[in-house]
Chain A
């Protein structure tokens, strides 16, 4: 393909926009067909580009997968950053993180499916990628500060919350309740005792 306007095509903004379009397409296809069943050609076709132009931005399909994870993580981080409430209450801090997690998860379902590993080739066990570990670390740190008695309690708070939040993708209906309201209710459920 002859590049008529090579300089313009390389403008950073334009470049970023194209990159973003490709990452969105990859997230969509990985989520709906699975990582293994999606080819670079499919992703290029989805945005009406040639495979060659895809390789200009990404060396491999693995690179694209990593970009999807990074993007999802960046959104969650961003939401969390904006919600910094400067509280010392560890339960409130955990709540802010869960709100960020739920918003990122439910407002970008394609990304959520890819990141939570329910749709990639490794199946239920998912793909352990550093980016996800990083976000889990944010979680772990908040949970570390909770006034719980044992390490085992902390571990189960983390696993219960992650499971409950990821599961919400299957039942969440927009407009009924906001992701933030659901996150608050989940944290509240774990904080207080169930029976009197």
Chain B
């Protein structure tokens, strides 16, 4: 866009940023509650109280909106994860804190929920971009799991994928009145930690 190069007065810039945030909030909310394929830019505009044309001023396409929501979601996850890990001092307690942070994020923040639950199948190029973003966060799990004093025979990769799968499934069955998010995370981790002793 040609006019983008012209510096804007600060007040105008501020207003544009606010509108962009309103738009992202609306997109995150809709992407979390409906399927990506079923949502149109028009729906997002309506949710944000804008005209569809104004959406295109900020984002060229629905795909770009999803990428922007993902980036914010991954940033939220990374912030929460780093704080959680810093709060504990052994690998095992760090994992517990990380799981709590993860569950708190996906149940409490639309952006964080979208970044783990939404992955459109139609466009391989978009999918690769999203998976790459997601990987920057899943690496936190990978690195932490690498430090765990696991029993012999436990496959670390399967542990990471199974644990993330179990945690990311929570929004599908979770509703108010069940265990709070921290307890839910603890109970899921306990299902992994507890069990029979392996035969030598």
A interface with B by C-beta (< 8 Å) = 31-37, 113, 117-126, 152-153, 156-157, 159-168, 170-171, 182, 185-186, 189-196
Contact = CB atoms under 8 A, between A and B. Distances in A.
A194 B195 contact: yes
A185 B191 CA distance: 15
A61 B128 CA distance: 32
Contact of B195 (A32, A122, A163, A191): A191
Label chain A's interface by main secondary structure. Answer: helix
Contact of B161 (A120, A121, A123, A171): A171
Interface of B: 32-38, 92, 113, 117, 119, 121-122, 148-155, 158-159, 161-173, 187-188, 190-198
Given A189-B158, A192-B195, A159 B37 contact: no
A56 B36 CA distance: 31
26 contacts: A32-B37, A34-B38, A118-B117, A121-B38, A123-B33, A123-B35, A152-B187, A159-B188, A160-B162, A164-B161, A164-B162, A164-B169, A167-B166, A189-B154, A191-B196, A192-B195, A192-B198, A193-B193, A193-B198, A194-B148, A194-B151, A194-B192, A194-B195, A195-B149, A195-B150, A195-B151
Contact of A37 (B38, B155, B166): B38
Label chain B's interface by main secondary structure. Answer: helix
Contact of A156 (B122, B154, B171, B188): B188
Pairs of residues from A and B, 6 with the lowest C-beta to C-beta distance, nearest first = A163-B169, A167-B165, A164-B165, A34-B37, A34-B38, A160-B166
A23 to B, nearest CB: 18
A193 B188 contact: no
Contacts of B36: 34
Contacts of B171: 124
B35 A186 contact: no
The CB with the most chain B CB atoms within 10 A, among A123, A170, A194, A195, is that of: A194
